[in-house]
Amino acid sequence: MLKKQLKKNGYKLLLCNSLNDVEIEKNYMKMLLANQVDGIVIGTHNDDLIDFDSVDTPIVGLERFLGNRTIPTVSCDNIGGTLKALDYLYNQGKRKIICISGAPSSKFPADDRKTYYSIFMQEHDLQGKFIYVNTSFDVTASKGIIKEELSKCGSFDGIFATDDLLAISTLQVLDELGVSNEASVVGFDGTELITSIYPNLVTIKQPIKEMAHLSVELLDRQIEGETVPTFSVLPVSLIC
């Protein structure tokens, strides 16, 4: 999506895939800045790659806060999406809802998914519980943590997973535990790849195409010397 939009706007794409390795990301950043690229769209999950506030190159964070949050960020509606997911479970009669998430942080708009899970549970007089999985990119490790923690939870009837990889791992664990019919699972992200492989996954779909379009637009406007919003939010939808 990003490549198409950049090409449409007359730019070439240099894709830097770090496989979540922070040292590789730091080297990429040094290379990009040294080669005086026109602009950078960043979606890394690692912190403190450079001092972003000291960089003159136009930058947009994609679902990522950068610097002192003065650099433009494009995000989906993480708050609205969380409430849609929890409303779906609640309207199904689910009351013992667990949240399975990555580690707490304050660097990502997606952290609102955890925050508003807690708010929803409090507002509905329900007791919430978090299971934190720090290895969502390692499916085997994720499943091991989820299985261990769910086994300690007692009864539950709903699970809100803050991304689709965690949702899929959770569904597999529930099946292995023989309780797949006892709890509903809702994920978050809804990428075409995931939904094509797991068409029955209930999830919150991010507007990926629109987010890519807006990221390039904001980058283009910065390159032209314009002032742009520091935080832009696009709506999501429930896929069930």
Task: Domain count for the chain, please give it.
Answer: 2
Contacts of residue 109, Cβ cutoff 8 Å, sequence gap at least 6: 63, 64, 65, 73, 75, 76, 78, 231, 233
Same structural domain, 68 and 15: yes
Is pTM beyond 0.85? Reply is: yes
Which residue range(s) make up the domain with 33? 1-76+207-239
Same structural domain, 110 and 178: yes
Same structural domain, 41 and 106: no
Same structural domain, 22 and 94: no
Same structural domain, 3 and 32: yes
Extended strands (E) in 129-202: 129-132, 158-161, 184-189
Same structural domain, 121 and 187: yes
Q: What is the pLDDT of residues 163-222, one digit of tens each?
A: 999 999 999 999 999 888 889 999 999 998 898 999 999 999 999 999 999 999 999 999
Q: Residue 237's pLDDT is what?
A: 98
Same structural domain, 34 and 62: yes
Distance, CA of 224 to chain centre: 29
Contacts of residue 156, Cβ cutoff 8 Å, sequence gap at least 6: 96, 97, 98, 129, 150, 183
Same structural domain, 113 and 163: yes
Residue 122: which H helix or E strand, with range?
helix 112-123
Considering only CA atoms, which of 192, 187, 179 is closest in space to residue 204?
Answer: 187
Q: Which CATH number do you get for residue 178?
A: 3.40.50.2300
Same structural domain, 92 and 106: yes
Q: What is the pLDDT of residues 73-97, one digit of tens each?
A: 999 999 999 999 999 999 999 999 9
Same structural domain, 86 and 172: yes
Same structural domain, 116 and 167: yes
Q: What is the pLDDT of residues 9-65, one digit of tens each?
A: 777 777 777 777 778 888 888 888 887 788 888 887 666 666 777 778 888 999 888
Question: Could you give the CA distance from residue 106 to residue 43 in angstroms, rounded to a whole number?
Answer: 15
Same structural domain, 43 and 111: no
Q: Which amino acid is at 215?
A: S
